[in-house]
Amino acid sequence: MTKRLFSLSLVALATTQAHAATSYRLEVIDQPVGAYQTTGTTIATDGTIGGGITTRLSAKTVDEEVVYHDELGRYDDETVGALYNDIVDETTGRYRSLSTNVAYIGEPTLTLLPGLGAEDEDLTVDTAVNGESEGLYFGYSSGPWSTVTFTNSSDEEETHYVRDFTTRGYVTDLTQSHALMPIYTIPTTSRGDQEVLNADEHFGGVSLANGGAGQWVVGQSSIGLGTGGESIYENCQDEDSIIPIRTCLRSLSYQSEATAWTLVDGVPSTPKAIGLLAEPEDDDDPANFASSAQAVNIHGLAVGQSVVRDGRYLRNVATLFDVNEGKALKALTVTNDTISSSIANDINDDGIAVGRAVFPSTYSTSKFFVYNTNDDTITYPASFYDSANSIAYAVNNSGLVVGAADWERVPPSSSRRQHAFVYDLNNDSFKDLNDLLQFDGSLLTQRYDGDTCAAREDWTLEYARDINDNGEIVATAVTTLRDTSGNLVLDDDGATQYVLRAVKLVPTDEEPASCVTDQDEPYQRKGSGSMGLLSLGLLGLLGWRRRR
């Protein structure tokens, strides 16, 4: 797309008709050049941003040989290639996988977070960072892999990769990590007279850390076995079984419930269930009844989502929890033919919650909402246009809400480009963050010859995920891949490469430049298709959250 500045007369006219605009200076963390993607999920009180790295491993054919490469440059091609080959090996690799997401923080340089794995296990252990509270970061991690060898029924030695858990929450002070234990893990297990698992090993179960404030971290954890779990567990206890118990139990699923952990000197306490809005009845599958807390404020009010019963339907609804009492208090939206589902993603210390509700129609439309827990009022502010999907991810203690909304006007059945927004609930002001961008002087000069509008063309903010009480925002932008000198890095076919990059937005007093868009040209992100809002919203119970 091509943008140009309004004439000075038009700018002057605009500023006489509205309040002075707020602008944001875009800052990029120092990171290796590569065709990987970084997304932003959290911004700490001190302005440090955190998020995830995806598509870091690539493969291409060189002289008829496949070469595997780490786009971050942490491992050489030989090491990465050996891992790829091991993964596809039918004997030793079939139970192991490569990581698809790695957590990082960046202030000012990109630093990987190991989660619950070792620092050199980031190619095989998935990690996510969802927030920060009082200097402690939290998120979730997959389990590190180990091997177990046994003699199979053909009297041949066989090796399996196993791990003690698939997903577990963690909290870290960046020097030491602590696991957030689930409410339920596998009990002491025997095969005949032989004990094969001890309850003290805390094998299995799942937990996620999504939000935190003060002494609390909240998320969800397993409370029991899921659908078919009892029969799998029973079969794995067969004394004639020769399959290692950790291999046998790897396919277990679990029931989950919103959970809170109290932190004492950075160490988590015993997990505490904080409720469901609906309990299963006699003929119900308990695994269908779940809840998750996405955020908590300093008073112990948490928000998230819980299953409720709507006649013969079960629906997910935005929910308010009381951490102190350990119970789900109420639904924040209705769930019927008007609203099919909803989720609350954040709550500030004044009791203002934000999230998203889905309105069923020929093409479902999601709208962001603001809920005041003090007087039980809910509003659905307008976004870019009436039928635009929108979602609010975070609200700070000044009443500033950030999120994403459909910006491109195309038919509802088509993928729509999204833009990040900031909404001020104090004056009902909704703004496109892309229109408020300023750029660091060196970035602006080196890459764009001082042209702010040219810089905005190259940085499109798709969504804003968090805002701290200083008004600093972490967002994710689509931009062109460039080297350290600011030159475009083309792919093997000579085409421009587009990547996702997490950015920090710092509020300034400068009046933002006004740009006019002549035309919009479609772009395609390298390694990914369009990322719709509904797919982002479905992360609800998967724990992407963070702390203000």
* Measured torsion, CA atoms of residues 241, 244, 246, 252, in degrees rounded to the nearest 10: -30
For β-strands 437-439 and 23-28, DSSP reports them as: parallel
Q: How confident is the model at residue 540 (pLDDT cuts 50, 70, 90)?
A: very low
Pick the residue with more confidence: 199 or 336? 199
Q: Examine residue 360 and say whether the peptide bond preceding it is cis (omega within 30 degrees of 0).
A: no
In what helix (H) or strand (E) does residue 321 lie, and over which residues does it extend? strand 313-322
- What the block records as the tokens of 42 is 């959290």
- For 439-497, write each residue's pLDDT tens digit: 988 888 888 989 999 999 999 999 999 999 999 999 999 999 999 888 999 988 899 99
The pLDDT value recorded for residue 412 is 60
Pick the residue with more confidence: 92 or 83? 83
pTM of the model: 0.88
Cα 155 to chain centroid, rounded? 45
Task: Among 5-9, 240-244, 280-284, name the one with the lowest average pLDDT.
Answer: 5-9
Closest residue by Cα to residue 375 from 399, 339, 343, 351: 351
Cα separations in angstroms, 125 against 112, 143, 338: 12, 6, 42
- For 108-161, write each residue's pLDDT tens digit: 789 999 999 998 999 999 999 999 999 999 999 999 999 888 888 888 888 888
- The residue whose two tokens read 């509205």 is 18
Domain-wise residue ranges, the chain: 23-60+69-515
Mean pLDDT over residues 67-75, rounded?
A: 92
The pLDDT value recorded for residue 95 is 64
For β-strands 313-322 and 327-331, DSSP reports them as: antiparallel
Q: How confident is the model at residue 4 (pLDDT cuts 50, 70, 90)?
A: very low
Mean pLDDT over residues 493-519, rounded?
A: 87
Q: How confident is the model at residue 42 (pLDDT cuts 50, 70, 90)?
A: very high
Percentage of the chain exceeding pLDDT 90? 64
Is residue 173 scored above 50 in pLDDT? Answer: yes
Percentage of the chain exceeding pLDDT 70? 87
Structural fold of domain 23-60+69-515: Methylamine Dehydrogenase; Chain H (2.130.10)
Pick the residue with more confidence: 527 or 410? 410
Q: Work out the mean pLDDT of the chain and round it to a whole number.
A: 86
The pLDDT value recorded for residue 10 is 32
Q: How confident is the model at residue 545 (pLDDT cuts 50, 70, 90)?
A: very low
Mean pLDDT over residues 359-363, rounded?
A: 73
The pLDDT value recorded for residue 530 is 35
Q: How far apart are CA 211 and CA 343, in angstroms?
A: 14
Is residue 288 scored above 60 in pLDDT? Answer: yes
- The residue whose two tokens read 């998935």 is 126
The pLDDT value recorded for residue 179 is 97
Q: How many CB atoms lie within 10 A of CB 49?
A: 30
Pick the residue with more confidence: 335 or 90? 335
The pLDDT value recorded for residue 518 is 52
Pick the residue with more confidence: 435 or 529? 435
- How many H helices and E strands in the chain? 7, 38
Mean pLDDT over residues 298-320, rounded?
A: 92
In what helix (H) or strand (E) does residue 405 lie, and over which residues does it extend? strand 400-406
The pLDDT value recorded for residue 86 is 79
Question: Are the beta carbons of 498 and 1 closer than 8 angstroms?
Answer: no
Question: Are the beta carbons of 430 and 382 closer than 8 angstroms?
Answer: yes
Question: Are the beta carbons of 298 and 213 closer than 8 angstroms?
Answer: yes
The pLDDT value recorded for residue 8 is 32
Mean pLDDT over residues 159-167, rounded?
A: 91
Pick the residue with more confidence: 399 or 415? 399
